[in-house]
Amino acid sequence: MSKSQFRVGISQGIRRADGEMVVPEFDLSPLDNDPLIDCVSLPDTADLDSDTAAGLDAVILMLESVTQKTFETPGRLSLVARFGVGYDRIDVEACTRNAVALAITPDGVRRPVAVSIIMLMLALTSRLMVKDRIAREGATGWARKAQYNGVGLVGRTLGSLGMGNIGTEVFKLAQPFDMHFIAHDPYADGRTAAALGVTLVSLEDLFRESDILSVSCPLSETTRGIVDGPMLELMKTSAFLINTSRGPVVDQTALFETLQAKRIAGAGLDVLEQEPPEDDDPILSLDNVILAPHALCWTDQCMAGNGAADVAAVQSTMGGHSPAHVVNPAVLDTPKFKQRLSEYAKRFGS
């Protein structure tokens, strides 16, 4: 193991150990072609183990978990770069305690996820799925088309649970639809909301007033199960729910019961409580829900954008600079992290 190079562990969810790219749009060449960088494959395991982590300066992770056990073996790990913006598998406090920055890729997912939400809104309100089905039935299906009129968007209310990176982008994209905009987010920037014509409301009012309600908040102990039975009871029977964040933000049992009873009009779900679901998961049997395998935003541009952001985070850290989009900014001011950056600057900085 050479300390003369900056060692980067690459998730096998991005590139397999045999060199095959799982995410071909992720351009790793800036790292591979740098003689000062040694890119190695991480073990194909659910958790990043401490012996592996100890010999690396940075890791780029797809789905691997990072816990306090990851840091049991003393080492030099300074950066965890996530491929995406979700970090519910990462123990953020453990990273901070061990002088490790956790970086995410909001620039890569912002537009692709927002487009996915708009797509689900249009598909649900136009009743695209049922119209596709009856169109395939020939004359019999076509004769029933008047039974499946969609819902126009002008004057309807688009609500967002969360108004951060993605929620804000959704409202930007939805401007031409002439809708009313509301959001609930205790951390929302009031000036940004006002500039986009978004009214910030209480959680209860968000569920009561939305015709289309999109969930765009991170999974945390505060948000886990926040979309529960009582909240769903507040929604209009004509309303649609969209979730592209994390499955456990929604109480899926309560949502199933709500959809089965037709107490709301439908749902669009890119995420589920268990992924993949069991074959007999009742949510799969419903005809008023659109499902996707937590990959609706997976486009060439999303993959390339996430990859470029992770590469930039690695290069910044290697050069002795703090990476962008750090989830735990407190770590940047710790003596140990500063010392690591200083040493990297001396060894690799230009």
23-62 pLDDT per residue, tens: 999 999 999 999 999 999 999 999 999 999 999 999 999 9
Q: What is the mean pLDDT of residues 181-200?
A: 96
Each residue of 64-77: pLDDT tens digit? Answer: 999 999 999 999 99
User: What is the model's pLDDT at position 350?
Assistant: 64
Q: What is the mean pLDDT of residues 173-184?
A: 98
159 and 247 in contact (C-beta within 8 Å)?
no
The two structure tokens encoding residue 179: 């809708």
**Res. 297: pLDDT tops 50:** yes
**Res. 18: pLDDT tops 50:** yes
Domain residue ranges of the chain, discontinuous segments joined by +: 6-104+299-348, 109-291
User: What is the model's pLDDT at position 323?
Assistant: 97
- The CA-based angle 127-197-232, given to 5 degrees, is 45
- The residue with greater pLDDT, 214 or 218, is 214
- Arithmetic mean of pLDDT over the chain: 96
**Res. 1: pLDDT tops 90:** no
Active site positions, annotated: 246, 275, 294
- For 6-104+299-348, CATH number? 3.40.50.720
Residue of 105, 14, 114, 165 lying closest to 306 (CA atoms): 105
- pLDDT > 70: percent of the chain: 99
Q: What is the mean pLDDT of residues 283-309?
A: 96
User: What is the model's pLDDT at position 255?
Assistant: 98
Q: What is the mean pLDDT of residues 321-327?
A: 97
The two structure tokens encoding residue 83: 């491929």
The upper half-sphere exposure of residue 223, i.e. CA atoms within 13 Å in the direction of its Cβ, equals: 18
117 and 242 in contact (C-beta within 8 Å)?
yes
- For 109-291, CATH number? 3.40.50.720
111 and 169 in contact (C-beta within 8 Å)?
yes
Euclidean distance between CA atoms 301 and 283, whole angstroms: 30
The upper half-sphere exposure of residue 13, i.e. CA atoms within 13 Å in the direction of its Cβ, equals: 16
**Res. 184: pLDDT tops 50:** yes
Per-residue CA distances from 232 to 23, 129, 150 (Å): 37, 23, 22
Each residue of 133-146: pLDDT tens digit? Answer: 999 999 999 999 99
Euclidean distance between CA atoms 171 and 110, whole angstroms: 12
- The CA-based angle 316-320-324, given to 5 degrees, is 35
Per-residue CA distances from 85 to 31, 56, 102, 302 (Å): 21, 22, 11, 12
Domain pair 6-104+299-348 / 109-291, same fold:
yes
**Res. 2: pLDDT tops 70:** no
Each residue of 80-125: pLDDT tens digit? Answer: 999 999 898 999 999 999 999 999 999 999 999 999 999 999 999 9
Q: What is the CA radius of gyration of the chain?
A: 22
Residue of 317, 302, 320, 314 lying closest to 31 (CA atoms): 314
